[in-house]
Chains A and B, each alone.
Chain A
Amino acid sequence: MFFWSLVLIAVGIFSSFIYGRSRIKLNSKKQGTKSKSLPNYYAQYVLMWCLFPALIVYFSWAIFQEQIIQNIVISNFEYIEGAVYNEGLLLAEIRNVANNPSFADGKSIEIINAASHYSSLRQISQISFYTSIIIIMLLGALYASQKLKPDFHAQHTIEKYIQYILIFCSSVAIFTTIGIVFSLIFESLRFFAEVSIFEFLFSTEWYPFIPIREGQTAAEGSFGAVPIFAGTFLVMVVAMCVAAPLGLLTAIYLAEYASQRVRKIVKPLLEILAGIPTIVYGFFAFVSVAPFVKAFGQSIGIDASPTSALAAGMVMGVMIIPFISSLSDDVINSVPQSLREASLGIGANKAETIKKVILPAALPGIVGAFLLAISRAIGETMIVVVAAGTAPNLTGNPFENVTTVTVQIVVALIGDQEFDNPRTLSAFALGLVLFVITLFLNIIALQIVKRYRERYE
C-alpha cells in the first residue's frame, strides 16, 4: 500500500512541476510581461505545495492508521461474559485471521467477525487514504496556481521554504534529545512510583523477579541497583587498565617515533579494530578469552566462573584501544612543535621530551580522551551481555560473574514486555542513569578538550 502511494506522490509532484512551469509561461505571455523569477521557481513552488501536504497525510496515516483501526476493532469486540482476554494476543489473533483466511479454521465466531471487521476497516482506510492524498495534492496545487502571476517573487518564497526545511533538518537532533529525555523520564517516573528512588540508588539487593500472575507466591522483587553499578564500574576499570596504557603508548609511538610508512600502515589497521562491530568482540570474549580466563584462574587457584568481569573487561579494553590511541594521537600532534624543539635543544632526549614536556602539555587532552573512553565503556552493551553474565554480585573480584547497567536493560526487555510491571520499567530507570552519567562525562571531556585546544591556538 505505502509503496504505491509513494508512486502516486511521485507522479503528483512531477505533473505539478510541469503544470507550474507551463502555467507561468502562459500567464506571463498573456500579460505580456516577463515573470520576476525563472519559470522553474514557479514550478518548484507548485511542487512544494503539492508535496508537503501529501507527505503530512502520508506520515500521519502510516503512524496512526493501524492504531486507530485496532482501537475500533477492540472496542467493538463482542466479549463473552466471564472470559478473560489478553488484548495483545487477541489483536494478534484477529490480525492473523484477517491476513490469512486459512487460519480461520477452529477459531471462535467472534474472532472471525472481528477479523472481517478489521479487514473491512483496512479497506476503508486504504480508499480514504488514496482519495485524501489526491485531494490534498490537488488542493495544494490549486492554492499555489493562484499565485502564479508574473509579478510574484517565486524565488524569494522558495528560498524561504528551503530555509525552513533546513532548519527542520537541523532540529531533528534536538527532537531526538527531547525524545530520549522525555521517554526515559516518563517511564522512570512510572518505575519510581512503585519502587522508591532511595531503594533503587542505595540498596544492595537486586532481585527483580516479581509475581507474574496474580496469586502467585513469589518473593517480592527488590530493586537495589548498587551491585549493578559496582559491576559496571569493575568492568570499566578492567577495560581501562588494558586500554589506557596500550592506547596511550601506541599513540606516543605513532606520533613521536614511527616513520611515515609505519603510520600509514598501522593507522588503517587500528581503524579496522575500531570498526569491528561490538557483537564480534562479544563472540571473541565468549569463545576465546573467557575460557582462557577460567583456565588461568584455576591454574592460580581461583575459582573463576565461565563468564567474568575480567574476560568482558579485557575485550572491552581492546575495543577501546583505537579510540584512545586516535584521540591521544591528535592531542599529542597538536602540542606545538616549538615545545618539542626547545626541549631537544637543551639536550633532552626523545623519551625525556615526551615524558617531561609533551605529556604534561597534552595532559588535559589525554584526560579528556580517557573520559570519553570511560563513557564508551560504560555504555557498551554487547560484549558484557555475552561475556559478563547476569548475576548481580556485589564483588571486587574480577574473576566472578558480574552484571552491568546495559546487561540489565537488555535482560529486562527481552521476552515479555508488558509495560505495567516494575521489572520492565526498571530498564528505563537504568537507561536514565546511564544517559545522565555518559552525558556528564561527555560534557566534561569536551570542555577539557576545548580549553586545551584554545590554549595552543
Chain B
Amino acid sequence: MNNSIAKEKIVSLRKKRSLEDMRFKYYGFTAMCLSLAVLVFLLYTIFSKGYTAFQKTIVLLEVDYNQEVLKLTPDSSDEDMEKGKFFRVKKQAIENFFPDLSKSDIKLVKKLFSINVDKEIKDYFLDNPEVINTKQQIWVTAHSDVDQLLKGNSRRDVPEDRRKLNDIQLSYVDQLVEENRVKQVFNNFFFTKADSRHPEIAGVAGSFMGSLFTLFTVFILSFPIAIGASVYLEEFAPKNRITELIEVNISNLAAVPSIVFGLLGLGVLLNVFGLPRSTPLVGGSVLALMTLPTIIIACRASLKAVPPSIKEGALAVGATKTQAVFHHVVPLALPGTLTGTIIGLAQALGETAPLIMIGMIAFIPNIPTGLTEPSAALPVQIYLWVESAERGFQEKSAAAIMVILIFLFMMNAIAVFLRNRFERKW
C-alpha cells in the first residue's frame, strides 16, 4: 500500500520535473527565436520601406525649343548655348502642360516637377543641338510629392490641408496617369548624386565616397599601428608595470563609448591641432583611434596562434629575435591580422556619433574628391535623412541603410574568405 503511494509520488514528481525541464528548454528556444525574429523583422522593415527609393517617377513634358525664346540661333557656339534661356522654355512648357491653364493653376502644375527639370531640359538640348525650333517630348523628373503619392507612400485620404498636394494637383496627377504621361524608372540619381534639399534628386554618391575616404584613413592609420603594438606586446614587451598599464589601457579603451572619441576629436584634433572640420581626415583619425583596441586584440590573438616552435626554429639557426619575429611569425599571422582589421573597419563604417561630433553632419551637396575636403559619411547621411521631416527622405534613408548593409556584408565576406583561405591550423 505505502509502496504504491510512494511510487505514484515518484512518478508524478518525475513527470513534473521532466515537464519543468521541457519548459525550460522551450524558454531558451523561444528566446533564441525571438531574437532572430527581430532580426528578420528589422531587415524586412528596411527592405519594405526602402526598395521604392530605387525608382523615380518621370513625367512626359513637351518642350518647344524655340530659338526666339531661347535667344539662340542654330549656329550659336557652345559657350552661347550654355547661356541659353532654358528657364523660359521650361516656363512655356509648363504653361502648355495641360490645355487652358489659369495663372493659379500654372503655379500648382509647376509644383509637380522637380527643381532639376531646368537642368534636364538644358542637358537634353546640349546633347542634341539639332532639336532647335522643334517640339520635343522629354521625360523629366517629377517632384518628390508626386513620386511619393504614386508609390503609395503618402496617403490621399487625409484632409487636404495636411497633404502636400491639394485636390487640384491630385486630379492633375490622376489625369497624367490616365494619359500614360508618367512612369517609374530606375533611379540613377540615387547612385550618382550627393545630398540635396530635394528628395527626388538626393543620392548617396557623396556620402559613399566620404565613407570610403574615411575608411581609407582608418586603414592607413590603424593597421600599421595595431600591428606594431600587438607585435610589441606579444613578443617583445618585458613583463612589468608599464606593459600591464598598456594592456589594461587597451582593454578599457575598447569599452569607451564612441561618442567620447568624438569629443576627443573635437577637443584635440579640431581645437588644438586645427585640422579641417568635417573632413574624412579627421573622421578617419578619430575612428582609427576608436577601432585600434579591437584590431590590436584581434592581431594579438592571431600572433598567439602561431606556434612557438616556428620562432624557436628561427632562433636556433641564429636569427636575432627581431628577425625571427618579423621574418617568420608576422608573415604567418598576417591573414589573421587582416581579418581583424577588416572587422574593425566594418565597425568603423557604421559608427555615427563620433562623426557628428567632428562636424561631418554638415550639409554637403557635392561629391568629395579628397581627404581634406568637407564630406558626409553614409551613417551620418542616414541620420540626416531619418531626422528630416520630408516624406521623400524616409525611403531614401532605408535605401541608404540597404547600401551600407550590403557594404558591411561584403567586408565581412572578405574577412571570412581570408580566414578560410589563408588561416592555417597547426
Contacts and interface: CB of A to CB of B under 8 A. Distances in A.
30 contacts: A170-B232, A173-B293, A177-B252, A180-B260, A183-B264, A183-B266, A183-B267, A183-B272, A246-B35, A270-B36, A275-B412, A284-B46, A286-B386, A287-B394, A318-B35, A321-B35, A349-B18, A350-B21, A350-B24, A376-B255, A379-B257, A381-B258, A382-B379, A406-B257, A410-B353, A414-B356, A414-B361, A417-B359, A439-B252, A439-B256
B405 A276 contact: yes
A63 B266 CA distance: 15
A355 B24 contact: yes
Interface of A: 2, 63-64, 66-67, 155, 159, 162-163, 165-174, 176-177, 179-180, 183-184, 186-187, 245-250, 252-254, 256-258, 266, 269-270, 272-273, 275-284, 286-288, 318, 321-322, 325, 349-352, 354-355, 372, 375-376, 378-382, 385-386, 406, 409-410, 413-414, 417, 419, 427-428, 431, 434-435, 438-439, 442-443, 446
Contact of B289 (A176, A282, A352, A439): A176
Contacts of A278: 350, 352
B264 A176 contact: yes
B32 A249 contact: yes
Contact of A266 (B32, B225, B249, B408): B32
A428 B264 CA distance: 10
Contacts of B273: 63-64
Contacts of B264: 176, 179-180, 183
A126 B8 CA distance: 95
A390 to B, nearest CB: 11
A169 B29 contact: no
Nearest to B38: A318
B266 A413 contact: yes
B341 to A, nearest CB: 14
A270 B35 contact: yes
Q: Which of A168, A351, A352, A378 has the most CB of B within 10 A?
A: A351
B255 A273 contact: no
Given A266-B36, A350-B21, 17 more contacts: A170-B228, A174-B245, A184-B260, A187-B267, A256-B28, A273-B38, A275-B350, A277-B408, A280-B382, A280-B401, A284-B45, A288-B41, A375-B257, A381-B353, A382-B353, A428-B267, A431-B263
A277 B21 contact: no
A257 to B, nearest CB: 5
A162 B383 CA distance: 43
A148 B49 CA distance: 68
Interface in B97-138: none
Contact of B21 (A266, A273, A352, A385): A352
B39 A269 contact: yes
Given A166-B232, A434-B257, A273 B267 contact: no
A398 to B, nearest CB: 19
Contacts of A283: 46, 382, 386, 397-398, 401
Interface of B: 17-18, 20-21, 23-25, 27-32, 34-36, 38-39, 41-42, 45-46, 49, 224-229, 231-233, 236-237, 245-246, 249-253, 255-261, 263-264, 266-268, 271-276, 289, 292-293, 296, 320-322, 326, 346-347, 349-353, 356-357, 359, 361, 372, 379, 382-383, 386-387, 394, 397-398, 401, 404-405, 408, 412
A427 B263 contact: yes
A104 to B, nearest CB: 21
Given A257-B29, A279-B350, A67 B274 contact: yes
B25 A275 contact: no
A62 to B, nearest CB: 8
B31 A246 contact: yes
A276 B24 CA distance: 30
Contacts of A165: 228
Contact of A252 (B28, B41, B49, B228): B28
B353 A406 contact: yes
Nearest to B245: A174
Contact of B257 (A248, A414, A438): A438
Contact of B49 (A63, A67, A287): A287
A306 to B, nearest CB: 12
A322 B42 CA distance: 15
Grouping DSSP codes into helix (H, G, I), strand (E, B) and loop, the A interface class, with mixed when no group exceeds half, is helix
A176 B252 CA distance: 11
A246 B34 contact: yes
A90 to B, nearest CB: 16
Contacts of B263: 180, 183-184, 409, 427-428, 431
A179 B245 CA distance: 16
A163 B235 CA distance: 11
B210 to A, nearest CB: 15
Contacts of A63: 273-275
B352 A381 contact: yes
Contacts of B249: 173-174, 177
A282 B397 CA distance: 11
A66 B17 CA distance: 75
A186 B24 contact: no
Contact of B25 (A183, A276, A350, A434): A350
B297 to A, nearest CB: 11
Contacts of A442: 252, 255
B296 A173 contact: yes
Contacts of A163: 232, 236, 322
B35 A169 contact: no
Q: Which of A280, A286, A385 has the most CB of B within 10 A?
A: A280
Given A67-B274, A409-B259, A409-B263, A351 B20 contact: yes
B237 A170 contact: yes
A63 B281 CA distance: 12
Given A168-B228, A349-B21, A413-B356, A381 B257 contact: yes
Contacts of A170: 228-229, 232-233, 237, 246
A419 B271 contact: yes
Contacts of A351: 20-21, 23-25
A318 B42 CA distance: 10
Nearest to B383: A279
A173 B295 CA distance: 12
Q: Which of A245, A250, A378 has the most CB of B within 10 A?
A: A250
B407 to A, nearest CB: 10
Nearest to A3: B370
B27 A249 contact: yes
Contact of B42 (A67, A254, A284, A355): A284
A336 B349 CA distance: 39
Contacts of A275: 346-347, 350, 408, 412
Contact of A277 (B38, B227, B260, B379): B379
B352 A250 contact: no
Given A184-B267, A375-B255, A155 B260 contact: no
A386 B31 contact: no
A288 B386 CA distance: 12
B36 A269 contact: yes
